[in-house]
Amino acid sequence: MTELSTHLQGQLVAVNPAYDALFDQFAAEEVRGNPGERQKWAVNQLMLAAKASRNLGLTEHATFSGALAWPYLYPWPQRPAGLVETAFDELAKRWLPILNAFDAAGVNLCYEIHPGEDLHDGVTFEMFLERVKNHSRCHMLYDPSHYVLQVLDYLDNIDIYHERIKMFHVKDAELNPTGRQGVYGGYQSWVDRAGRFRSLGDGQVDFDGIFSKFAQYDFEGWAVLEWECCLKHPEDGAREGAEFIQSQIIRVTERSFDDFAGAETDDEANKALLGLT
């Protein structure tokens, strides 16, 4: 097993009332229709996941942050002063005990950075990280498909956050804006949106670039296929995905490519080359 996931339960740690009805189906039947009890149930699920991960010998765990501020993503109407800050203060307050439980279990908690969550880009991750006091167990699950669809520089993201990226979903996507729609997608279905998820190799993600960055930064985790495609059959997506990832994995070199022409270290010779003798 690579990791356990609590995406659905993590989502329920923080739900804006606008989404109460739609997210209710993620919860156990006995707490549906009762947001307060549902939240307690979700927190307990995360606590169980920390213990389960420890019992399974796992070192990373995947989840969603949930969201209080997401309905106010676009600043129209004008956002009241302090609204976002209050949302992130509360989000951090809810997650801090969970992060501490994961610390006690020796497991990193990795938030999938994802639209619909308050942690949906680098800036919002930083706003949260600051409020949980740079918690040593607060990390990112990197999925480039969610960055392509919001036109975020997903290679630069690895340069900035590689020390906090502990998990990787290998998922492809494409954004084909037209004169009729762009990032927002015009309320269209997945097939008809300008931005949509695709099977590996069928989208626009530069996986050569991503796998090179992860090799460069000594990423120790797993390359995990997440299949979501609006066109291709899932079993074809899985079969092709295994081959695709295998072909992308860079078996890192054990020596420098120019060692063949290397010379022994000689401090005296170096000083002579520099005119220091």
The smaller minimum CB distance to other proteins, of residues 88 and 142, is found at 142
User: 30 or 266, CB closer to other proteins?
Assistant: 30
Q: What is the DSSP letter of 185?
A: G
**Among 5-13, 16-24, 132-140, 173-181, which window interacts with other proteins (CB under 8 A)?**
5-13
Shortest Å, Cβ 182 to other proteins: 27
Q: Are the beta carbons of 157 and 142 closer than 8 angstroms?
A: yes
Per CB under 8 A, the list member of 106, 177, 186, 234 interacting with other proteins is 234
Looking at the Cβ atoms of 191 and 276, the one nearer to other proteins is 191
Tell me if 3 contacts other proteins by CB under 8 A: yes
Diameter over CA atoms, the chain: 82
Residues 158-197 that bind other proteins (CB under 8 A): 168-170
Which residue, among 243, 141, 154, 143, has the nearest Cα to 206 in the 3D structure?
154
Among 51, 94, 162, 232, binds other proteins (CB under 8 A): 51
3-state secondary structure of 77: coil
Residues 6+ apart with CB under 8 A from 246: none
Instruction: Write the DSSP symbol of residue 78.
Output: P
Please state, as a whole number, how many other Cβ atoms lie within 10 Å of the Cβ of residue 228: 16
User: Around Cβ 132, how many Cβ atoms within 10 Å?
Assistant: 20
**Could you say which DSSP state residue 227 is in?**
-
Interior angle at CA 185, CA 114 and CA 160, nearest 5: 35
Taking the C-alpha atoms of residue 116 and residue 36, their distance in angstroms, rounded to an integer, is 20
Q: Which of 52, 84, 96, 152 binds other proteins (CB under 8 A)?
A: 52
Q: Which of 249, 269, 272, 273 binds other proteins (CB under 8 A)?
A: 249
Nearest distance from residue 238's CB to other proteins, in Å?
6
Is the Cβ of residue 46 or residue 149 nearer to other proteins in the bound state?
A: 46
* Distance of closest approach, residue 248 Cβ to other proteins, in angstroms: 9
- Nearest approach in angstroms of CB 89 to other proteins is 28
Say which residue the tokens 């070192």 belong to.
Answer: 59
Q: Contact positions toward other proteins, by CB under 8 A?
A: 1-9, 26, 45, 47-49, 51-52, 55-58, 62, 168-170, 211, 214-216, 218-228, 234, 238-239, 241-243, 245-246, 249-253
